[in-house]
Amino acid sequence: MGVPVNIAAHEPLGQTRTIGRRLLLVIKLVRYRFFLFAGLLPYLLGAAWAFGMAGAFDAKVFWCGLGGVAFAVIGVEAFNEFFDSKMGTDRVFNPEDRRPISDAVLWLGVAAFAAALAVGVYLTLRTGWPVLVFAAVGGAAAIFYEAPPIRWCYRGLGEIVIALAYGPAMVLGCLYLQTRTLSAGALWASLVPALLIMALAVVNAIPDFHQDRLVGKHNLVVRLGRRRAVWLYVALAGAGLAAAAAGAALGEFPKPCWAALLALPLLVASARRGIRSYESARGFRPAIGGMLACYVIAVSLFAAGILLNAWR
């Protein structure tokens, strides 16, 4: 999943030759697609709901919350890289291709989570104790996705944890920051990114089926098999798009939210490719790209449709 980081065990992050080199390693570590597309979009959806449906927007709180999300995602990616390396997930068949991950990556993750906690405490003092609940739920999902002793992804719960963290927790948490309230409509809206990001997590694991099975990572793809996993991710993504359409049809969401369905052709193209090529890791890559594009476009257009309600 994402861009691998090759840091030798004997070359700590702090001893790389230049500041530019260090920055490059960090950029590679924070896998751009999950930061921009998974972490950022649900948070923006929560802010769009607060402004478009409730007319509330506090710029300072918004940027502080966004900073907390950024730190949390850095922590997630650092922990995932470090513990994947320790379990040998990415090195089952070609262990000599990648150098061991440095302990500095672990400490980078610890520092990032500590910074996210600091932001969470500040926002709790500013807006109220429920923020700390959202932060705790998100932290438990993020830290223990790969890390012991829980290891959600090894227990067949990783995809569900991702859906809850990047769906209801992220959207409702951002909404509370802005309005100090929650709403059933926003919970419904959070199902759109939740189902789509769960589909993305499933499709992303299909090429890793053999190595995940060998290291004991009992995710949904390992449990169901690759062919059934293709149908699962298509069904999850279809449900996410259906949630947006149903809400717009019933008047729970503004009519422009119908635009989320413009991502449907990307899902169809991804499904066709996935059904034909799920046994080939290289051939399956376009299916992942199509699902990623479907997620980005659907959630972006859905959030834009909600935001337009402010000018209705």
CA–chain centroid gap for 54, Å, is 26
Domain coordinates in residue numbering, the chain: 18-311
Q: How many Cβ atoms sit within 10 Å of the Cβ of residue 143?
A: 18
> Over 80: is that where the pLDDT of 88 sits?
no
For 14, how many CA atoms within 13 A lie in the half-sphere containing its CB? 5
- In angstroms, what is the C-alpha Rg of the chain? 19
How sure is the predictor about 143, in pLDDT bands with cuts at 50, 70 and 90? confident
The pTM score is 0.84
> Over 50: is that where the pLDDT of 11 sits?
no
Non-local CB neighbours of 65 within 8 Å, separated by 6+ positions: 43, 119, 123, 173, 174, 177
d(CA 72, CA 143): 9
> Over 80: is that where the pLDDT of 95 sits?
no
d(CA 209, CA 225): 8
How sure is the predictor about 27, in pLDDT bands with cuts at 50, 70 and 90? low
d(CA 284, CA 276): 8
pLDDT in tens, 245-277: 999 999 999 999 999 999 999 999 999 999 999
Please check whether residue 278 is in contact with residue 206, taking contact to mean a CB–CB distance below 8 angstroms: yes
- Nearest C-alpha neighbor of 142 from the set 201, 80, 220, 70: 80
Instruction: Report the pLDDT value the prediction gives residue 270, as an integer from 0 to 100.
Output: 96
d(CA 161, CA 291): 19
d(CA 157, CA 160): 5
Indicate the residue type of 85: S
- For the chain, what percentages of helix, strand and coil (3-state, to nearest 5) are there? 80, 0, 20
Instruction: Report the pLDDT value the prediction gives residue 98, as an integer from 0 to 100.
Output: 55
What is the longest distance spanned by two Cα atoms in the chain?
59
Mean pLDDT, residues 179-185 taken together: 94
Instruction: Report the pLDDT value the prediction gives residue 294, as an integer from 0 to 100.
Output: 95
Give φ, ψ of 224 to 5 degrees.
-95, -25
Please check whether residue 129 is in contact with residue 106, taking contact to mean a CB–CB distance below 8 angstroms: no
